Amino acid sequence: MKNHYFALTLLAGVLLGIGLFNKNDYYFNVLNILLLKGLIVVGLSLLMGYAGQVSLGHAAFYGLGAYTSGILTAKYGWSPLSALLAAQGVTLLAALIIGIPALRLKGHYLAMATLGFGVIVYVIFKEMIDLTGGPSGLVGIPPLELLGHTFLESRQYFFLFALILVLAILFALHLAHSPFGRALLALHDSEAATMALGYDTGRLKLIVFLISAALAGLAGSLYAHFAMFISPTSFTFLHSVKFVTMVVIGGVASLWGALLGAALLSVLPEILTVFEDYDVLVFGTILVAIMIFLPEGLFKGLGNLFYRLKKCKN
């Protein structure tokens, strides 16, 4: 746990430094989107690493958060904060409806159910034109307003998003190291054994699923106000897959690994633009190669490599 606190303090320090000294709005905007992805990935990492469940529909929860916030503020004049809370309600409700039946069952039913759910939600975003603005998107979302303060600059959003992410990581770390978290970890190893210890495993899994959906919904609400425009193309099945990929590439077993994966997959396309049209090919190759050669993810894989190198030197 001590190591985790150290890492978290380091992260917070780095973020604070960037926030204070960076003057380039472009970097802020890139980082803002990365921070929101980090938020989604923290939840997904809890779900995958601890509850052993995969969600292929997290882009839908992200989108539900974004669209609920967007619609309520742009079309019905709600304040951003109350819309954000309503968005949390909508996201949680959707997660409950999918999660309760799917998590009663053993196996990867949640993955399949969320896949279907994700596509359905995407089609709804596209087709309920009067409400969502349809395929061409929802315009007129106001900037975020909290406690009488209106967020107008990228730097302000950066501080807010960084704070929320740090808090989310703190929460996730505590959760993971609480009795609840240990029960979850046991669940990941052996569901039967955990049940024998008197835990209701279905409920454990459901709670983690709800937390991860809520975090994705929160990221969505924040994104809607930050970008002031949303459209269905940001919430497709491929985005869900990308979130899962971030977690797996970093390493399913670790929160930090997942964050590393998010950073890598967000930064990689920016770097790969030097390959111009070839960037998709390079991206696909890197993804496949990492999974073949470091099946436990970058975080652990690189750690092992480092360890071995050190041993060789000695």
Partner 1 sequence: MKRWLFVLLMAFFLVTSSSIWAAKPYKIGALFSITGPTSFIGEPERNTLVMLVDEINKAGGINGHPVEVVIYDTEGEETNAVKKVTKLIVQDKVLAIIGPSRTGTTLAVIPFVERYKVPLISCAAGIKIVEPVKAWVFKTAQSDRLAVKKIYAYCQAQGLKKIAIITVSNGFGQSGREQLKALAKDYGIEIVADELFGPKDVDMTPQLTRIRAKNPDAVICWGTNPGPAIVAKNMRQLGMKQQLFMSHGVASKRFIKLAGEAAEGIILPAGKILVAAQLPDTDPQKKLLLSYIERYKARYGEEPSAFGGHAYDAFLLLKHAFQKAGADRAKIREALENAKGIVGIHGVFNMSPTDHNGLDEKTAFVLVRIKDGDWQLIK
Partner 2 sequence: MGEILQFLLSGLTSGAIYALIALGFTIIYNATEVINFAQGEFVMLGAMFMATFCAHGLPIPLAFTLAVALTALAGILVERLTIYPARNASPITLIIITIGLSILIKGLAMFMWGKNPLPVPSFIGEKPLRIGGATVVPQSILILAMAVIAVWAMEIFFQKTLTGKAMRACAANRLAARLLGIRVEPLVLLSFALSAALSALAGVIISPITFATYDMGTMLGLKGFSAAVLGGLTSSTGSVLGGFILGILESLAAGYLSSAYKDAAAFIILVLMLLLKPEGLFGKKEIKKL
Q: Is 272 in the site for partner 2 (CB under 8 A)?
A: no
What is the maximal distance between C-alpha atoms in the chain? Answer: 68
Range 110-139, binding partner 2 (CB under 8 A): 112-113, 115-117, 119-120, 123-124, 127
Q: Which of 12, 18, 163, 241 binds partner 2 (CB under 8 A)?
A: 241
Q: Which residues contact 172 (CB under 8 A, 6 or more apart)?
A: 42, 43, 45, 46, 255
Contact status, residue 138 vs residue 70, Cβ threshold 8 Å = yes
Q: Which does 101 bind (CB under 5 to 8 A by kind): partner 1, partner 2, none?
A: partner 2
Q: Which does 259 bind (CB under 5 to 8 A by kind): partner 1, partner 2, none?
A: none
Task: Tell me, rounded to whole angstroms, the distance of Cα 106 from its chain centroid.
Answer: 24
Contact status, residue 57 vs residue 244, Cβ threshold 8 Å = no
Q: Which stretch binds partner 2 (CB under 8 A): 12-20, 71-79, 175-183, 242-250?
A: 242-250
> Could you give the CA distance from residue 204 to residue 307 in angstroms, rounded to a whole number?
35
Q: Which residue has the tokens 């993804």?
A: 287
Range 266-285, binding partner 1 (CB under 8 A): 273, 276-277, 279-280
> Could you give the CA distance from residue 13 to residue 299 in angstroms, rounded to a whole number?
21
Smallest Cα–Cα separation from 128: which of 82, 73, 79, 70? Answer: 70
Q: How far is the CB of 259 from partner 1 (least distance, A)?
A: 19
How many other C-beta atoms can be found within 10 angstroms of the C-beta atom of residue 118? 26
Alpha helices in 178-200 (DSSP H): 179-189, 191-196
Q: Which does 191 bind (CB under 5 to 8 A by kind): partner 1, partner 2, none?
A: partner 2
Q: Which of 14, 100, 120, 129 binds partner 1 (CB under 8 A)?
A: 129
Q: Is 284 in the site for partner 2 (CB under 8 A)?
A: yes
The secondary element (H helix, E strand) that includes residue 150 is: strand 149-150
Residue (12 or 241) nearer to partner 2, CB = 241
Residue (158 or 209) nearer to partner 1, CB = 158
Residue (168 or 187) nearer to partner 2, CB = 187
Token pair for residue 136? 């061409």
Range 149-188, binding partner 2 (CB under 8 A): none
Q: Is 269 in the site for partner 2 (CB under 8 A)?
A: no
- Residues binding partner 1: what is the number (CB under 8 A)? 28
- Give how far Cα 140 sits from Cα of 66, 101, 116, 230, Å: 13, 37, 30, 10
Smallest Cα–Cα separation from 206: which of 108, 109, 95? Answer: 95
Q: Which of 281, 304, 306, 308 binds partner 2 (CB under 8 A)?
A: 281
Q: How far is the CB of 158 from partner 1 (least distance, A)?
A: 12
Q: Is 26 in the site for partner 1 (CB under 8 A)?
A: yes
Token pair for residue 232? 């269905």
CA angle 221, 222, 227 (to 5 degrees): 105
Range 180-199, binding partner 1 (CB under 8 A): none
Residue (189 or 276) nearer to partner 1, CB = 276
Range 223-262, binding partner 1 (CB under 8 A): 227-231, 233-234
Burial grade of 271 (CB within 10 A; 0-12, 13-18, 19 or more): exposed
Q: Is 252 in the site for partner 2 (CB under 8 A)?
A: yes
Q: Which stretch binds partner 2 (CB under 8 A): 22-30, 58-66, 221-229, 233-241?
A: 233-241
Range 44-103, binding partner 2 (CB under 8 A): 48, 54, 98, 101-102
Q: How far is the CB of 127 from partner 1 (least distance, A)?
A: 7
